[in-house]
Amino acid sequence: MAFPEGFGWGASTAAYQVEGGWDADGKGPSVWDTFTHQGGGRVFKNQTGDVACGSYTLWEEDLKCIKQLGLTHYHFSLSWSRLLPDGTTGFINQKGIDYYNKIIDDLLTNGVTPIVTLYHFDLPQALEDQGGWLSEAIIESFDEYAQFCFSTFGDRVKQWITINEPNLFALLTYDLGVFPPGVPHHGTGGYQATHNLIKAHARSWHSYDSLFRKGQKGMVSLALFAGWVEPADPNSASDQEAAQRAMAFHLDIFAKPIFIDGDYPEVVKSQVASMSKKQGYPSSRLPEFTEEEKRMIKGTADFFAVQYYSSRLVKYRENDKGELSFLRDVEVEVFPDPSWIKLDWVCVVPWGLRKLLNYIKDTYNNPVIYITENGFPQGDPASLDDTQRWEYFRQTFQELFKAIQLDKINLKVYCAWSLLDNFEWTQGYSIRFGLFHVDFDNPTRPRVPYTSAKEYAKIIRNNGLEGHL
């Protein structure tokens, strides 16, 4: 099962989850620094990313892991407040620039292509204090930061992700309040943030397009989280509609405006409008784009970046009490098939990824697709011999092979989450997604390959799997 020549094999990390050095060399605080330092039990054992994997000082160790795997691509994120401590270009932290320059240069020297995410959940606290993603002012701030990154690193970085999983992020931060700033706005905050995230992404894509593309010749997209959903009863029309609504509310809500026509899916607009009406709102809780904004948003991605972990079954569940909630606006119940293997919140459903890729191909005009994250967690402590987990990766690669060969999916790059065990947000260090084990009790944070890392290295070396379909 040989993959197409030039197929990209990568691994991913994100700044706050691996770097540590939270206040080193002039870095400003991000919302995650504030949130974890406040304690209060919102993060597992009140753990923090203060040190994490220590990648801020241990980049050379990370590079060794990357070389050991033989990765062709490394996907990482920049810490906005390490570069611009108060979020603006009013003060630029040269030490931050130096750090990322070194990473980028070392990668290129070793023949590894960087895929760089500008923003992976860690907003500078100074910008959160001005309203964060609930405020329209963030669009201007994000564009200023993006332009700064394009002009500083874009001579060498050609594959950009503006925002990581804005769809999940909007929900967890401003709607549910489980991510910083930790204040829920049920049924309103998620949509308001979504609106500003889409506009900020589109604005920065236009900045790249008009100011940098000609000279730098790179590509810009955003990385959308997507699960796959199956109707609980495939013969039930209402379950089928429920599955369509679930896809619309979690994936298409971002993808349709950006890839198709600048506007939200009809079903999202009608659901939220009718719920809002029942609840006595004078207008829909989902904001509307102006015609000019729609034109600005449409077509602002050069490839489709998707992050897949899990699948679920769905069925219709009426919001009969008119609950005010982003999740209840969808009117679905979501649950795992009892026959699926469940690792923490991740159900092992490799064929779900193939179906998702087909959905993207059919819905979004056969785009070039990058899988910028995919992986399987282990509990803590985790055994270095993770043969079982490797089997899930192997099955996933088989599905990708079928997707490319049989379904003609335009898949170019696969990145495993994650290069290293790291800080898994509110779950702290309690679950481990790494290809390399990190000992968080040891001050030198040694990295040791799991069996999966050794096996992945073989796949990369052979550009595919042994055997036939």
- What residues line the site for ligand NOJ (CB under 6 A)? 14, 17, 164-165, 307, 373, 417, 424, 433
Tokens 């060498």 correspond to what residue? 156
Judged by CB, which is closer to ligand NOJ: 91, or 345? Answer: 345
Minimum separation from the CB atom of position 425 to ligand NOJ (A):
6
Active site residues: 165, 373
Between 65 and 242, CB nearer to ligand NOJ: 65
16: enclosing H helix or E strand: helix 15-18
> What's the rounded Cα separation, in Å, for the pair 189 and 170?
8
CA-based nearest residue to 372, from 172, 116, 122, 63: 116
Phi, psi for residue 289 in degrees, rounded to 5: -85, 140
CB of 390 to ligand NOJ, least distance (A): 18
Q: Measured on CA atoms in the order 163, 164, 165, 168, is the torsion positive or negative?
A: negative
Q: How far is CA 176 from CA 11, 190, 191, 254, in A?
A: 29, 8, 12, 18
Taking the least distance from each CB to ligand NOJ, the nearer of 258 and 272 is: 258
Contact 55, 13 (CB under 8 A): yes
State in angstroms the smallest separation of the CB of 49 from ligand NOJ: 11
The answer to whether the beta carbons of residues 234 and 314 sit under 8 Å apart is no
Output the smallest distance, CB 166 to ligand NOJ, in A. Answer: 11
Question: Which residue's CB is nearer to ligand NOJ, number 165 or number 252?
Answer: 165
Minimum distance of ligand NOJ from residue 345's CB (angstroms): 8
Which CB contacts under 8 angstroms, 24+ apart, belong to 284-293?
A: 285/187, 285/188, 285/191, 286/191, 287/191, 287/192, 287/195, 289/195, 289/257, 289/262, 289/263, 289/264, 293/199, 293/262
Nearer to ligand NOJ, 52 or 229 (CB): 52
